[in-house]
Amino acid sequence: MSSHTKGDNTITTKDGVRIFYKDWGTGQPIVFSHGWPLSSDDWDTQMLYFLAKGYRVIAHDRRGHGRSTQTWDGNDMDHYADDLAALTDALDLRDAIHVGHSTGGGEVARYLGRHGSKRVAKAVLIGAVPPVMLKSESNPQGLPMEVFDGIRAGVAGNRAEFYRDITLPFYGYNRPNAKVSEGIRQHWWLQGMAGGIKAHHDCVKAFSETDFTDDLKKIDVPTLVMHGDDDQIVPIADSALLSIKLLKKGTLKVYPGLPHGMCTTHADVINPDLLAFFKD
């Protein structure tokens, strides 16, 4: 079991990992799961928006990321899902809405697949990695192993430079006439560099090779799948367009021309759409 000290803003998992979280406001809880290699700070814009709309907003730093313990092991989807379950249990959340971006979308899917929906009202997968990213005989549209080996090499070789560079495709800033925000790029870089290199290196395998097919089939709550069709990090054809076929109560919303990091670049579009789904 996990332990939890009120006011400490951390829980300690059964394997001794300290998970940092933010918990603001009252009302129906929204739990946000962030992408690789970021932290709960990536949800700042959403948390402020939904706090003002009368929701309780909660976001944690995944193990090895942000302000949580810089783990050297347990950096896999089962542990991520169990950590999320430990958090929801410690806070005794009920009727919660779970929102996951990218790797966090995988975390939400595995959490529901492993722990069920007794505490959950709805789910949202944004630019999310399910069903599975890696190319194989059974997943011919996936990305080849070389892509993920390249990410691992970037992390191991010159993480600081690699993290700076990846912000360009992440936010679509490498597209013609893109309006680049250096502040957003630096915010991504700061979040990434705060986490542990071993956990980040391991997480590449977790987000690329985990097969969430069975998890998606088990999800029995209304689930919104949001994806930009110009997502250069998690291509839509091998993710959202396949996930929607596996969900019992899924709704797909495709955003023409929007990038992987659309929650940040286009919060003015994404936040009202989330709100409409929550209220529906």
Q: How many domains does the chain have?
A: 1
pLDDT category at 200 given cuts 50, 70, 90 is very high
Residue 217: which domain range? 3-279
pLDDT at 216: 98
- The arithmetic mean of pLDDT across residues 125-148, rounded, is 96
Task: Check residue 4 and give its pLDDT.
Answer: 56
Enumerate the β-bridge partners of residue 99: 32, 124
Contact 226, 126 (CB under 8 A): yes
pLDDT at 1 over 80: no
Task: Read off the CATH number of the domain in which 130 is found.
Answer: 3.40.50.1820
Work out the average pLDDT over 247-267: 98
Residues that are catalytic: 102, 231, 260
**Tokens 């959403």 sit on residue:** 46
Of 215, 263, 278, residue with least CA distance to 34: 263
What values do phi and psi take at 48, rounded to 5? -65, -40
For the stretch 7-53, pLDDT in tens is: 579 999 999 999 999 999 999 999 999 999 999 999 999 999 999 99
Question: What's the rounded mean pLDDT across residues 129-146?
Answer: 96
Threshold 0.85, pTM exceeds: yes
Note the pLDDT of residue 7.
Answer: 57
